[in-house]
Amino acid sequence: MPKTLKSFLLAAAAVAVAAPAMAQEVNLYSYRQPELLEPLTDAFTKQTGIDVNVAFLKSGLVERLNAEGDRTPADLVLTVDISRLSAIVDAGLTQPVESETLNANVPDIYHDPDGRWWGLTTRARVVYASKARVAEGALTNYEDLADPKWKGRVCTRSGTHPYNVALVAAMLHHKGEDGTRDWLQGVKANLARKPQGNDRAQIKAIWAGQCDVSLGNTYYMGKMLADPEQQAWADSVRLIFPEFEGGGTHVNISGVAMTKHAPNRENALALMEFLTSPKAQKIYAEANYEYPIAPGTKPAELVRGWGEFTADPVNLMDLAALRPAALRLIEEVDFDG
């Protein structure tokens, strides 16, 4: 071997030995705060050795991914609400994922048929009712909220908030356009005040005697009970799991999708599969007071104590498709006016 070539090879080998191995990582853009995800990301890193970098965004996820294009560092996006998931997909910012593990862990109703997003947990949109002023059994379905007997007794956040838009989309699925318009007008006529605040603000209003029932997601009960300042609000209400006539209780999801230009695709898939595993589902459910979707995985003990319900069987992709029509009806009746 020529001396110059031998010297080059020896030098290259020395550099290779001296150079540290590239860090294994996966980058996540999230609408959920990093502290809520930390128990999960820590467990994943401990199991796999892959670091998880979380960038928390309050809004503008689609705009950011569009601006970054194929230079994005993001491998995965994690968000709540089917409308937000479908918006990312519709913008062409995700890629389909095929995985036997994901198929085994996520029921068909909770993932995109083409694998462009996968559900992680569910939450039910329920009624919070005053223990002091609402009798047991006084309200059993969503349609009841439009009954004149609730006039001046209903509180809710804005009708155009994604949580309520998804509920109205479900009503459209069950009742059609005319029935949904009538329902929206009936609920609006029963409002105790103009829609405002978040879900917890409605429960505070019940505690303060400003209204008797409100719409809210189930996990807020757990969050209020964990907050000394809000425990009294939670103690003043009971959870009711209403159903649609001929259907079940409306649920929405948190979910994850792989970005179109994910730079760490294998690590991203490993994290997706971990997040849907029974181990991670248990951690997620306990940290966020939500319902795990992996078969055989139970909710946290506190959540189980709220009672059982039958989830509405409508496919969430069908609800996402109805979202524009739902928003149009909400604006047509001037629900927030």
pLDDT in tens, 19-51: 344 469 999 999 887 777 899 999 999 999 999
pLDDT, tens digit, 9 for 90 and up, residues 288-300: 899 999 988 999 9
Both 263 and 172 in one domain: the answer is no
pLDDT at 150 exceeding the cut of 90 = yes
pLDDT, tens digit, 9 for 90 and up, residues 58-116: 889 999 999 999 999 999 999 988 888 988 999 999 999 999 999 999 999 899 999 99
Both 240 and 323 in one domain: the answer is yes
Say which residue the tokens 């809210």 belong to: 216
* pLDDT value for 226: 94
pLDDT at 184 exceeding the cut of 60 = yes
Asked whether residue 198 is domain-assigned, the answer is yes
Both 321 and 281 in one domain: the answer is no
Both 315 and 199 in one domain: the answer is yes
- And the tokens for 256? 């994850």
Both 208 and 322 in one domain: the answer is yes
Nearest residue to 173 (alpha-carbon basis) of 211, 210, 142, 206: 142
Number of H helices, E strands in the chain: 13, 9
* pLDDT value for 19: 35
User: Looking at residue 27, which CATH number applies to its domain?
Assistant: 3.40.190.10
List the domain range (segments joined by +) for residue 282. Answer: 18-122+251-304
Do β-strands 51-56 and 25-30 pair in parallel, antiparallel, or remain unpaired? parallel
Beta bridge partners, 255, equal: 79, 119
Both 278 and 213 in one domain: the answer is no
Give the three-class secondary structure for 79.
strand
* pLDDT value for 37: 87
Least confident of 1-5, 30-34, 40-44, 282-286: 1-5
Q: Which are the contacts of 62, defined by CB distance < 8 A and separation ≥ 6?
A: 87, 88, 91, 93
Both 30 and 137 in one domain: the answer is no
Count CA atoms closer than 13 A to 217's CA, side-chain side: 24
Please tell me the total count of domains within the chain.
Answer: 2
User: CB of 184 within 8 A of CB of 335?
Assistant: yes
Q: Which are the contacts of 98, defined by CB distance < 8 A and separation ≥ 6?
A: 115
User: CB of 205 within 8 A of CB of 214?
Assistant: yes
* pLDDT value for 10: 36
Both 327 and 192 in one domain: the answer is yes
